[in-house]
Amino acid sequence: MPEFAAREVLTGWGRTAPTAADVLRPYSARQAAEALAAGSPRGTIARGLGRAYGDAAQNAGGVVIDCTGIDALGPIEAAGVVTVGGGLSLDTLARAAVAAGWFLPVTPGTRHITVGGAIAADVHGKNHHVDGSFSRHVVSLRLALADGEVSTLTPEGADAPLFWATVGGMGLTGVVVEATIRLTPAETRYMLVDTERARDLDDLMARMSEGDARYRYTVAWVDLVTRGAAMGRGVLTRGDHAPLAAVAAEARESARDYAPRALLPAAPPLPAPLISRLSARAFNELWFRKAPAARSAELQSIEAFFYPLDGVDRWNTVYGSRGFLQWQCVIPFGAERVLRQVIEAIVDAPVPATLAVLKRFGEASVAPLSFPLPGWTLAVDFPAVRGAAFTAFLDALDLQVAEAGGRLYLAKDSRMRPELLPVMYPRIEEWRAARDAADPQHRLTSDLDRRLGLARPHLRQESP
């Protein structure tokens, strides 16, 4: 064990299922590779900014490589191509990119993730239906392998199977120490946003089906607390980057001064959760009411449009010591009936859904473990309430999703049953073959890997 290792108790963003690991903080690709080569009897996994909701970046009793020190930022070339360290945050990258007239090709709902994490989870954003997931914009990456070798991988090169196993591979192929990414042009730090309120689920889905194609970025917040006629009402926000011409003349000089800040400091950890059905209902009512019934071409900042929750530092603490989870599924187009059943079930769930987001995905990536597929994705936050009623409820939702040909997002998962993994990810054996070729001794592992039997299935697998 290297001397600078310190045993730390880690959780994901949901603050559930803590485990302890020896955390190493390398500051270069070479140090990361050395840490991998040194190994640990209980394996190694990379960790970025800890935004995966569950246990993807934990490795109980083993080594966790905190990659945030591998944060080099190369020059942005004329074509918008940039080479960065795997531990660089999307936040830092975006600041440099916007100043130079570019933006992230894909961003999730938080800017506090690393480039390596974005690749390992193959993250998606509001532009998935147009631009696909993060991996589509990766020109090449350098992966530190289990044996300490560093390999350069490209989507079409000789090592393409390992490239695509790394994309969405939840860190189980190695540590992404560097990536070359193609940015997307953006003239300003502003967005032009259209907002619409939808009165119920049918209205919301109809508006999304009909109008999404006209926009680069789309997302809908959906109210999954209110029952009755207004069930599934929502607020649809859609837009694109604002051209310089859309910005008032006096603001044009500072139109690329992108410097987002958290408006509120960290919420203090609360012993008792603030979340109840009552507070969830009040919150959802407020969110719906504050949105305009319809407003078009509103100038919004990038941070207001993409990262509303980043306005509060460490907002995850409002759920109290028991933590919370996010359940995110995708249900293929054509199975809208199942989506409706799932939403109806959540409205009557034993635990209130605090926040829910609905979005239409476009084409899937070719990566075997990548989450998005053409269909509807629904992401719902729940407090992590213990007990049989809630676990049985979520297990039943999983089954409905799996039967419809859908799946759960591994970067969010913290509780699904391992039996459903091969049903939801039918290409898992293809992924395992590519992974095993790079790490035959299974030296890369995580709590997620152990819990679900990702790399090696559990010996006992019952049929679902």
Pairing of strands 324-332, 407-408: antiparallel
Q: Would you say 182 or 417 has its CB closer to other proteins?
A: 417
User: What are the structure tokens assigned to 94, written together?
Assistant: 């975006």
Minimum gap (Å) between residue 391 Cβ and other proteins:
5
Pick the closer one to other proteins by CB: 24 or 104.
24
Nearer to other proteins, 47 or 450 (CB): 450
Q: Is the CB of 248 or the CB of 388 nearer to other proteins?
A: 388
* Residue 90 to residue 73: CA distance in whole angstroms: 11
Q: Which helix (H) or strand (E) holds 179?
A: strand 175-182
Greatest extent of the chain over all pairs of C-alpha atoms, in Å: 66
CB closer to other proteins, 9 vs 309: 9
Minimal distance in Å, beta carbon 359 to other proteins? 23
- Structure tokens belonging to residue 41: 């009897």
CA dist 306 and 303 (Å) reads: 5
| Shortest distance in whole angstroms from residue 21 CB to other proteins | 6
Interstrand relation of 63-66 and 19-24 (parallel, antiparallel or unpaired) = parallel
Q: How far is the CB of 328 from other proteins (least distance, A)?
A: 14
Residues paired with 279 in a beta bridge = none
Tokens representing 37 are 């080569």
Question: Closer CB to other proteins, residue 195 or residue 391?
Answer: 391
Smallest distance from other proteins to CB 430, Å = 25
Question: If DSSP states are collapsed to H, E and C, what string results for 74-139?
Answer: CCCCCCCEEEEECCCEHHHHHHHHHHCCEECCCCCCCCCCEHHHHHHCCCCCCCHHHHCCHHHHEE
C-beta separation of 417 from 423 below 8 A: no
> What's the CA gap between 235 and 220, in Å, rounded?
6
Residues that bind other proteins (CB under 8 A): 7, 9, 14, 16-21, 42, 54-55, 59-62, 321-323, 325, 384-388, 390-391, 394, 414-415, 417, 447, 450-451, 458-460, 462
Cα gap 113→56, rounded to integer Å = 13
**Cβ distance 103 to 91 under 8 Å?**
no
What's the min distance (Å) between Cβ of 60 and other proteins? 4
Q: Which residue lies nearer to other proteins by CB, 176 or 275?
A: 275
Task: Return the ∠ at Cα 431 (arms to 50 and 49), rounded to 5°.
Answer: 10
Nearest approach, Cβ of residue 8 and other proteins (Å)? 8
| Shortest reach from residue 358's CB to other proteins, in Å | 23
Q: Which helix (H) or strand (E) holds 296?
A: strand 294-301
- Which is nearer to other proteins, 11 or 135 (by Cβ)? 11
Output the smallest distance, CB 402 to other proteins, in A: 16
Nearest to 66 by CA among 22, 107, 108: 22
Rank residues 330 and 394 by Cβ distance to other proteins and give the closer one: 394
